[in-house]
Amino acid sequence: MKNLLTMENVSNEEIEAILKRAAEFEAGAKPQLERDYLVANLFFEPSTRTKTSFETAERRLGTTVIPFEAGFSSTLKGETLYDTVKTLESIGMDAVVIRHKKDAYYEELLEGINLSVINAGDGAGQHPSQSMLDLYTIFKEFGKFEGLNVTIAGDVSHSRVAKSNITALRRFGANVNIVCPPEWQGKYTDAHHEWDDLIETSDVIMLLRVQHERDAAYEGFTTEGYHKQYGLTVEREQQMKDGAIIMHPAPVNRGVEIDSSLVECDRSRIFKQVHNGVFVRMAIVETILKERN
């Protein structure tokens, strides 16, 4: 694996190897990098968890993390993403982690760039490291994917997390259902527009953030109306089956996609997902850097 760009171009075997290595890191395994590597995190969109989680993972692996502040970089003077990345490669970077508002920004880096690129989110495209930490969280909970009922609720059309997870979970044999307003179903024409019986039958309910920065609101949208019709309310949580869990990639709009009191309830794995993300990102970065030897 030279790069990690989308869940579509990673095999099930590669994903399983990442999840296994993440479990080893969680159990205290030492990194297996044989030289010093230089990495940089290029975040052209805001991030709390992905950026700090990657940086923590990179430091725990013993790599040298070179600071990069998108808001003070020469991109503000018109430099292209290609030229920024080629510049970092010329300085000696082995890998860059990139978040960018443009869908599939990485396509312009496929020719002529030799360092490794890890996609930390492209527009409304994909978020593969989030998907892998979600898979890790689900597997730790249930020990399998096959036959699990996973319901993904919310702004699917703008959600890179949803797209990556739907791809991966269906490939691993989970029954993935989608609940969302018709305006947000995007290419998922099999989406439900009511919860129907999905609250009672789901093993995992994964909520998505309403993405106001991508102009997600449709005509008639109100946060109160959305919460009532599509959010995880206290009443809905009480109908979930024994052992079922709540997930959300976060950041959370409390009181919109989920009642604020449920964010840290017994079923919630929201902060556990964040915790797991460091081990998964250690596994991703180590796997990619080892291939560069």
Tokens in use for 203? 């093993």
Minimum gap (Å) between residue 101 Cβ and ligand CP: 12
Closest to ligand CP by CB, 113 or 125: 125
Task: Find the binder of ligand CP among 23, 33, 38, 250 (CB under 6 A).
Answer: 250
Site for ligand CP in 104-133 (CB under 6 A): 121, 130
Minimum gap (Å) between residue 146 Cβ and ligand CP: 26
Question: What is d(CA 194, CA 180) in angstroms, rounded to the nearest whole number?
Answer: 7
Minimum gap (Å) between residue 69 Cβ and ligand CP: 16
Draw the binding track, 172-211, toward ligand CP (x: CB under 6 A; -: no contact): ----------------------------------------
- Residue 251 in contact with ligand CP, rule: CB under 6 A: yes
Minimum gap (Å) between residue 25 Cβ and ligand CP: 20
Q: What contacts 24+ positions apart, CB below 8 Å, involve 159-163? A: 159/124, 159/208, 159/209, 159/211, 160/121, 160/122, 160/123, 160/124, 160/125, 160/126, 160/127, 160/130, 161/127, 161/130, 161/131, 161/134, 161/208, 161/249, 162/206, 162/208, 163/124, 163/125, 163/126
What region does 62 belong to: left with phi over 0, alpha with psi -120 to 50, or beta? left
Site for ligand CP in 41-100 (CB under 6 A): 47-50
Q: Which stretch binds ligand CP (CB under 6 A): 64-72, 106-114, 224-232, 249-257?
A: 249-257
Closest to ligand CP by CB, 113 or 208: 208
Minimum gap (Å) between residue 43 Cβ and ligand CP: 8
Minimum gap (Å) between residue 32 Cβ and ligand CP: 27
Sign of CA dihedral 131, 264, 202, 188: negative
**Cis peptide leading into 251, omega within 30 of 0?**
yes
Minimum gap (Å) between residue 171 Cβ and ligand CP: 21
Tell me, by CB under 6 A, how many residues bind ligand CP. Answer: 9
* DSSP summary character for residue 134: H
DSSP H or E segment with residue 117: strand 116-122
Closest to ligand CP by CB, 11 or 48: 48
* DSSP summary character for residue 4: B
For 270, the 3-state DSSP assignment is helix
Q: Which stretch binds ligand CP (CB under 6 A): 68-76, 89-97, 229-237, 245-253?
A: 245-253
8 A C-beta contact, residue 116 and residue 142 = no
Q: Which residues bind ligand CP (CB under 6 A)?
A: 47-50, 121, 130, 249-251
